[in-house]
Amino acid sequence: MTAGVGEQVTDADLVAGYRRDPELFTAVHDRYFRDIYLYVAGRLDTQVAEDIAAETFLLAFDRRDRFDPDKGGLRPWLFGFATNLVARHRRKEARHYKALARLDPAPVVEGHENRVLTSVSAQRMQPQLAMALASLNGGERDVLLLLALGELSYDEIAQALGISIGTVGSRLSRARAKIHARIDSSLIDSALKGKETR
């Protein structure tokens, strides 16, 4: 499972390696743990994220022989496990967003650089965004957060969730419309102006 100088080990190389020697599955963990952890932490919280990310890799290790590289990559396959595990915690996730929505936004501090203004604008939007996320159904929230937190492509999201790319697009469209309807557009405009002036 070694690549030449300057060459990166591909997912196919990783799969071939761990099929010969299961201990080499640690390379999959090393490559993707951070992505899975950050995705789960964004959906739930950091305390649960470590456990769910670890459970994701345990499931993947147990099912490593079932992975079919012809059906997609390791990354969306792992995100599929993580999303299913998050679904088990969905009620907690909804409570998390509702709790964030109840938080008072941080007070605006005058006289700081545009980067600080953007951050403050984002903090002021947090309660509305949290309520908007809580209002989405599970499928819409999964697609939106795989895109936003996991940074998966439409194709990877479809692979992770076992749905068509068209379904990804329609769920994402519905999610965006619901969020846009719930968030005060003046806060969005304020946040965007801060970014434009950087």
DSSP 63: T
The pLDDT value given to residue 46: 85
Report CA torsion sign: 53, 57, 62, 67. Answer: positive
b/e map 37-56, b = 16+ CB within 10 Å: bbbbbebbeeebbeebbeeb
CB atoms within 10 A of CB 161: 21
The pLDDT value given to residue 121: 46
pLDDT in tens, the chain (198 residues): 555 555 688 888 898 889 899 999 999 999 999 999 999 998 887 888 999 999 999 999 999 989 988 888 999 999 999 999 988 876 666 676 667 666 655 544 444 444 444 454 455 556 777 788 888 888 998 999 999 889 999 999 999 999 999 999 999 999 999 888 887 655 555 544 443 443
Measured distance CA(65)–CA(152) in Å, rounded: 23
Measured distance CA(136)–CA(105) in Å, rounded: 22
CB atoms within 10 A of CB 170: 15
The pLDDT value given to residue 111: 44
- Per the CB < 8 A criterion, the answer to whether 194 and 112 are in contact is no
Closest CA to 57 of 69, 46, 47, 49: 49
b/e map 9-36, b = 16+ CB within 10 Å: eebebbbebbeeeeebbeebbebbbebb
The pLDDT value given to residue 184: 65
The pLDDT value given to residue 109: 46
Give the pair of three-digit tokens for residue 15.
Answer: 């799969």
The pLDDT value given to residue 113: 44
Measured distance CA(180)–CA(175) in Å, rounded: 9
pLDDT in tens, 15-52: 888 989 999 999 999 999 999 999 999 888 788 899 99
The pLDDT value given to residue 127: 74
The pLDDT value given to residue 56: 95
Diameter of the chain measured on Cα atoms: 60
